Amino acid sequence: MKILAVCIGNAEKLPGKSYKTGIYKHPLTGSVLVDAEGLVGDAICNRKHHGGVDQAVYVEGSLTLDWWSATLGRTIEPGTFGENLVIEGLDNTEVAVGDRLIAGDVVLEVTCARIPCATFSARMGDPKFVKRYTQAGRPGLYCRVIQGGTVTAGEAVALQRFQGARVTMPEMMATFGKRLSPEDRARYLAAPIHYKLRAGLKAQV
Nearest-angstrom CA–CA distance, 196 and 205: 16
Residue 48: its pLDDT value, please? 64
Residue 78: its pLDDT value, please? 96
Residue 12: its pLDDT value, please? 82
| Residue (of 188, 53, 4) closest to 44 by Cα position | 53
Backbone angles phi, psi at 59, to 5 degrees: -120, 140
Residue 118: its pLDDT value, please? 85
Radius of gyration of the chain (CA): 16
Mean pLDDT of the chain, nearest integer:
92
Segment 2-30, tens digit of pLDDT: 999 999 988 888 777 777 888 889 999 99
pLDDT band for 47, please (50, 70, 90 cuts): low
pLDDT(45) > 60: no
In this structure, what is the dihedral angle of CA atoms 138, 144, 146, 151, given to the nearest 10 degrees? 70
Domain boundaries, the chain: 2-203
Segment 141-174, tens digit of pLDDT: 999 999 999 999 999 999 999 999 999 999 999 9
pLDDT band for 49, please (50, 70, 90 cuts): low
∠ CA 159-162-166, nearest 5°, is 120
Enumerate the β-bridge partners of residue 20. 13
Give this prediction's pTM: 0.92
pLDDT(33) > 90: yes
Of the options 3.40.50.620, 3.90.25.10, 2.60.120.260, 2.40.33.20, the CATH number for the domain spanning 2-203: 2.40.33.20
Segment 60-82, tens digit of pLDDT: 999 999 999 999 999 999 999 99
| Residue (of 94, 19, 103) closest to 64 by Cα position | 94
pLDDT band for 177, please (50, 70, 90 cuts): confident
